[in-house]
């Protein structure tokens, strides 16, 4: 069980991860990514595709979801970042 920030102190019970892969393209989202990941239900696979952020986005993502996989990708657009993990996604 974990306490989710912004959930008014309520404890969220761990559930069986949903059988899917979630891909989140990021670029300098350190201020937002933690909040998003805290609100997400457990999933079988979480892939962060980062466009070489310089604000610690990947570090923050791993602080909130240590199991997340990270792919660093040159800044080539959101569409490219969204397509990149399809070759490695397992769920």
- Residue 31: per-residue pLDDT: 97
pTM given for the model? 0.72
Q: 77-88, pLDDT tens digit by residue?
A: 666 766 666 667
Instruction: Write out pLDDT tens, residues 22-62.
Output: 999 999 999 999 999 999 999 999 999 998 999 999 999 99
pLDDT, greater one: 1 or 71: 71
Q: Cβ–Cβ contacts within 10 Å for residue 37, how many?
A: 19
Order of all β-strands in the sheet with 43-50: 18-26, 43-50, 69-72
Per-residue pLDDT at 1 exceeds 50: no
């Amino acid at each position: 069980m974990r306490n989710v920030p912004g959930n008014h102190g309520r404890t969220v019970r761990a559930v069986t991860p949903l059988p899917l892969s979630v891909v989140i393209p990021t670029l300098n989202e350190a201020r937002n990514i933690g909040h998003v990941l805290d609100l997400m239900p457990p999933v079988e696979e979480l892939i962060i595709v980062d466009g070489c952020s310089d604000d610690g986005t990947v570090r923050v993502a791993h602080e909130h979801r240590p199991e997340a996989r990270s792919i660093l990708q040159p800044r080539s657009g959101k569409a490219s970042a969204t397509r990149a993990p399809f070759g490695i996604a397992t769920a």
